[in-house]
Every structure is written in C-alpha cells, then in structure tokens.
Amino acid sequence: MIAPVQLVDLIIEARWVVPVDPAGVVLENHAVLVNDGRITALLPQEAAAARFSARSYKRLDQHVLIPGLVNLHTHAAMSLLRGLADDLPLMAWLQQHIWPAEAQHVSEQFVHDGTLLACAEMLRAGITCFNDMYFFPGAAAEAARASGIRAAIGLIAVDFPSSYATDADDYLAKGIAVRDRLLDEPLLSFCLAPHAPYTVSDRSLGKVLTLAEQVELPIHVHLHETVQEIDDSLKRFGMRPIERFRRLGLLSPALIAVHAVHLDACEIELLARHGCSVAHCPSSNLKLASGIAPIAELFGKGINIGLGTDGAASNNRLDLLQEMRLTALLAKEKSGRADAINAHQVLYMATLGGARALGLEANIGSISVGKAADLCAISVNDVALAPCYDPVSHLTYAVGREHVSEVWVAGRIRVENGQLVENNETGLIKLALLWQNKIRP
C-alpha cells in the first residue's frame, strides 16, 4: 500500500544543508520541509519528493542552506549614526560625540526609524534574529515587528537621565511595561540590559538581578571591553568588574558578557564555572582599538560564545558573515594556533551559540525538526567562490553578505533573490537622508 502524499507549506531543496546540530554535518541534496512556520522534516530530496507535496517550492541548486544568523549584540537604532565620528578611542568617541548626539536627537521616532534601517540591513545579510540594547525599546520592538525579523529587545538601564527615562528605576519600570505589553508577540523576546559597569550602580544592578530572576530574562551587559573600564573599576570599587559582578550574584547562565576582551585566567574560569555566555564583537573591538578577545581560550573552557556586530556607529556594518571571518582569523593569531577555531565552530557561534545565550535554543539556531523555520540561503555560484570544496569553509572564509540570496523568518520569506520582499529600500534610504540632515554637525 502506497502512503498518501502529505501536503506542506514549503519545500526548500538545496545543494548543501548545514543543520549546525549535529555538529560538523553537511548534507548534500537534501530538502527542508516547512509547515505553519516550523521545520517538519529534513531528508534527501528523493524521499521528500516521494512523500510530500508543497504549496510552494524553492530549488537552490548552487546554494548552502543554514540556520538564520543570530546577531547577539547590537544597538540597532545607531544605524542613523553610522560614520558620524570615526577613528577615535572608545571613551572619546562616546563622551565627546555619540552621547552628545544622542542627547540632542534620540527620540521614539529616531529609534523606530533607525531600527527599521538596521532590520533591512540585517535581513539582507542573513540575520534573522538580533539582540538589541538601546533607548525606547518599545519603538525598536515595533520596528522589528514591522520588518518581520526576530528580536530580543533589551530593556536598557543606566543611572543617568535621558529623553527616555530619568533614572535606573524609571528605565526598568518602562522596560518591563514594554515587555508585558508585547509578551505575546511570537517574534519578540526580551533581555534586561544594564549598559555597563561604569554606568550602572550596585543598587541598580541588584534590582536588575531581582527582576531577571522574577521574570526569567537574560542579562545583556558590556563587560571588560577596555583597559580603562577595568582601571576605573579598580579605582572606584577596589576590584575588577567581573569580581564586582560575582559579589553581586550576577554571574550565571543568564549573563551575556558583551566584548569580554580583557580577561585573566581566573576570570575565564569564573565565566566558565557560572555558565555565562560571551557576545564576541571583533570588528567593533578592532575599530575602537579595544583589543582582541581570547576566544580560543574561552572556547576551550566550554564557554558559550555568540557573535555580535555591535552598532553601526562603531563597526560600521551589520554583517555577521564578516564577524565570522574575523572571529576565526583573530582566534588563530591571538592563540598562535591555526587550528584554534575551525569553520564549523564559528558557524555554531553565529547561530546556535547566539540562540543559546538568549535562551532561544529550543526554537532557533539550527535546522532541526520542530524549530522555527529561520533560514538563510547563500549562493556560491560566483566566479570569486569557485571552486567550492567545503561549503562551511566558504561560509567562514570566502562568502560575503552580497551572496545571501534568500532569507526566511518563521517560514515566511523576507529576502528573495537578494532583495527585501516587503520593505521599501528606496523609502528607507530617503528616511536615513532626512535624519542625516538633522544630525549633520
């Protein structure tokens, strides 16, 4: 007896499928089946054709299909400040240029428009989920929702006033209100986002920890980014920031330590022992001369690592494929070992590592049955990419975001043939130019 053919929403056939989990696997001539926004099967193309039919088909004969990339750290709205004050040290860049510009211009509309621009850039680069940290998180959430991208919205907290809130209590209260209002949005999740050790007091960090435990949210914070941050902490608190966080009870699997550039052996052990994650942002670290994070050592201790772009003001591009290449190359140079980090491990960081840090690994980060169909197709049909012996090596060392051809979020196509399906790119460029004319010094 012949089994009836089952109807699904979408069948994607690809030359290569890299599911990420299990690790190191590359499947040739396989199909991913999607129904109701979720992956229902991953099997050889012949088996898929025999058992299933679809309302829609996508054949990717010269492509690598991977999970959608997860940008573990960014300030999306800062796309409107891209290139505003380049080639400066971090604190001079912040104190003399970025913070004054933010004080003058940041508003709910600024955040909405800047995040719209960032979402378009990220989707075209294969990023299907981003972890944000910025003012007016409700406006960022609305822009992400309008763009059809998955977002972990950071509920920022700092001790100084802004156009958004007056003090840390006000920031947190407004952030939790945003989270409560949007809790049922399927593409949104939330993080508590105290900005940095030097902008948040012990009292405020304590309140962040209490809230994180009450509502079970990750804590997303800049940590050990620069030597100056550590020196200032020694002068002010008599200890390095990670030790201060340990004493406050903040080191846990909920903590996402952004940058984590300047770490000694004991601090690496602390992060490993407490199950913390690290958001590695190599381009931003290099551009601001913050340093090179010890990624090989962190990885060797079993610390979960995800990759981030940081904001477009300090990168200046939201391109996780570029971060993958830099991660591999810098880890080799920093450790003195060419085999320190391999291409499969870097791809894990850019997908499942980021998902795990956000507590989303059961839903995204790999091409696995039951997970959301957040997918990215990358074409290798380019003279600059020929020949292709190893598609995962190509992903890490050869391809660029211009090779991203299709992107799906929860089974819905957002990029097709390299172009946004729904966002009006011309309109976004005009919007950015309007803001440029306001902000131009």
Question: Where are the extended beta strands (E) located within 68-218?
Answer: 69-74, 127-132, 150-157, 188-194
Alpha carbons 79 and 92: distance in angstroms, whole number: 19
Per the listing, tokens 């056939």 go with 13
Assess whether pLDDT exceeds 60 at residue 1.
no
> Which pLDDT band, with edges at 50, 70 and 90, does 93 fall under?
confident
pTM for the model stands at: 0.97
> Which pLDDT band, with edges at 50, 70 and 90, does 3 fall under?
low
Q: In the chain, where are the structural domains located?
A: 6-67+366-410, 69-357
Does 3.40.228.10 match the CATH number of domain 6-67+366-410? no
Q: Decide if 6-67+366-410 and 69-357 have a common fold.
A: no
Averaged pLDDT, 21-28: 98
Averaged pLDDT, 267-285: 98
- Contact between 106 and 93 (Cβ < 8 Å): no
Written as six digits, the tokens of 309 are 């772009």
What crossing angle do the helices spanning 241-248 and 227-237 adopt, rounded to 10°?
60
Which amino acid, residue 317? R
Assess whether pLDDT exceeds 80 at residue 143.
yes
In order, the DSSP letters of 322-351 are: HHHHHHHHHHHHHHT-TTSS-HHHHHHIII
What does the pLDDT look like over 226-237, one tens digit per residue? Answer: 999 999 999 999
Written as six digits, the tokens of 182 are 């949007």
Per the listing, tokens 């059961």 go with 362
Domain 69-357 architecture: Alpha-Beta Barrel (3.20)
Average predicted confidence (pLDDT) for the chain: 96
What pLDDT is attached to residue 441?
Answer: 63
What pLDDT is attached to residue 236?
Answer: 97
Written as six digits, the tokens of 39 are 């992956």
